[in-house]
Structure 1
Amino acid sequence: MYLVKTPWLLKKLYSKFIWNDDRSRRRIYITFDDGPIPVVTPFVLKNLKAHKAKATFFCIGDNVRKHPDIFEQIKADGHAIGNHTFHHLRGWKTDNETYFNDMQQCQQLTGTNLFRPPYGRIKRKQADLINAAYPDMKIIMWDVLSGDFDITLDPAKCLEAVLKHTGNGAIIVFHDSLKAFPRLEYVLPRALEHWSKEGYEFEMLG
């Protein structure tokens, strides 16, 4: 089960995390989790470039290690990089020391001030360890979850939900992964075209 739109109460309970940006400006923040990988990440980069859109990529350290050329292309295209742990660990099911060490292993490759916990699951103690070691680190969550990872979701329905719930200041999650690609391949170019026509600016987190 997942919610496309993050409830305000959850944002209030975890107010130290970043869920969205200023609602008064017509801009959105497109983010991609789990890459970089062949085929999918280059497809994303091609579509972003076509719309002169900047985005933020929350990278898995092991994928950076396996595909350094694609990782370098993300940076060369001017996009922002985030830490998504080295092994895509689920915080609630991982002891704090293991989780923190895994995050640090990814940090050695990404050198970023942005962190997103895989699955959006992180214990308060894990967040405290990260913030103590990296005072400038921002823990980024999201306002809109595309659901592109849901293999039962029709691509057209995925697009409909994303467009319905995206507004000023939204942080939107997509996935540059093989699992998500059947939905992402359909949704991303159409969403970018729609948002461009609606006058949104595409900005990076930072």
Structure 2
Amino acid sequence: MYLVKTPWWLKKLYPQLIWNAEPGNRSIFLTFDDGPIPIVTPFVLNILKKYDARATFFCIGDNVRKHPDIFEEVKQAGHTIGNHTYNHLRGWNTDDQVYLQNYLKANELLDTPLFRPPYGRIKRSQVKLLQQARPDIQIIMWDVLSGDFDMSLKREEALNNVTKNAGDGSIVLFHDSIKAFHKMEYALPLVLEHFTGLGFTFKAL
């Protein structure tokens, strides 16, 4: 069970987390979780380049260790980097100090103030620890979830999740992972084409 469009009341419950970017510029903020991964991440980079789009990649530290060349490609293409922990930890099921150390281990490779908790699961106590460890941290959530990770979802539905719910200032979540690739490779180019036709630009956080 997940919400495609993050409701206003959830955003109000966690005001210390960032759910949207500032509206007013007809901009959409695409984000990609779980990379860098061979084949998948380079595909994303090529599609973004075609539309002169910038995005934010929330990288898993261990994947950066395994694929430093792809990580370098992401940076060289002008995209923004975010921390997604070193081992994709689920915060609700993880000891606070273990979570903090895993974040710090990833940040040795990533060195970024942007952070997204895997699965969107993070305790208030973990938020506080991360803020103490890095005072300039920005914990980025999302406004629209593509659902590309959902094995029961049709790829057309992943596309509609974004085109029907995203708008000015939306932070949209895709995944550059093997699991999500089938749906993401279908939906992403069509999302870029759709919103470009409506006069939107795609920016990095």
Show the counterpart of 1:131: 131
Show the counterpart of 1:175: 175
Q: Tell me, in whole angstroms, the C-alpha distance in 2 between the residues paired with 1:22 and 1:123.
A: 25
Q: Which amino acid aligns with 1:67?
A: H
% identical equivalent positions: 60
Q: Tell me, in whole angstroms, the C-alpha distance in 2 between the residues paired with 1:21 and 1:65.
A: 30
Show the counterpart of 1:21: 21
Q: State the shift of 1:197 in Å.
A: 0.7
Show the counterpart of 1:90: 90
Offset from partner CA, 1:116-164 (integer Å, 9 cap, x none)? 0000000111111110110101000000010000011111111112100
Q: Tell me, in whole angstroms, the C-alpha distance in 2 between the residues paired with 1:82 and 1:157.
A: 27
The worse-fitting range, judged by mean Cα deviation, of 16-25 and 85-94 is: 16-25
Q: State the shift of 1:22 in Å.
A: 2.1
Show the counterpart of 1:100: 100
Structural RMSD (CA): 0.6
Show the counterpart of 2:46: 46
Q: State the shift of 1:25 in Å.
A: 2.4
Q: Which amino acid aligns with 2:17?
A: F
Show the counterpart of 1:143: 143
Offset from partner CA, 1:2-47 (integer Å, 9 cap, x none)? 1110010000000011000223320010000000000100000000
Offset from partner CA, 1:147-199 (integer Å, 9 cap, x none)? 00001111111111210000100000000000000100100011111111111
Show the counterpart of 1:59: 59
Q: Which sections of structure 2, spanning at least 5 residues, go unmatched?
A: none
What is the count of residue pairs matched by the alignment? 205
Show the counterpart of 1:119: 119
Q: Tell me, in whole angstroms, the C-alpha distance in 2 between the residues paired with 1:23 and 1:13.
A: 21
**Kept after mapping to 1: 8 A contact 2:145/2:161:** no
Q: Which amino acid aligns with 1:166?
A: A
Q: TM-score, normalised by structure 1?
A: 0.98
**Kept after mapping to 1: 8 A contact 2:144/2:161:** no
Q: State the shift of 1:201 in Å.
A: 1.3
Q: TM-score, normalised by structure 2?
A: 0.99
Q: Partner of 2:6: helix, strand, or coil?
A: coil
Q: Tell me, in whole angstroms, the C-alpha distance in 1 between the residues paired with 2:130 and 2:157.
A: 37
Q: Which sections of structure 1, spanning at least 5 residues, go unmatched?
A: none
Q: Tell me, in whole angstroms, the C-alpha distance in 2 between the residues paired with 1:89 and 1:62.
A: 12
Alignment partner of 1:73 is 2:73: yes
Q: Partner of 2:29: helix, strand, or coil?
A: strand
The worse-fitting range, judged by mean Cα deviation, of 17-26 and 185-194 is: 17-26
Offset from partner CA, 1:94-137 (integer Å, 9 cap, x none)? 00000000000000000001000000000111111110110101
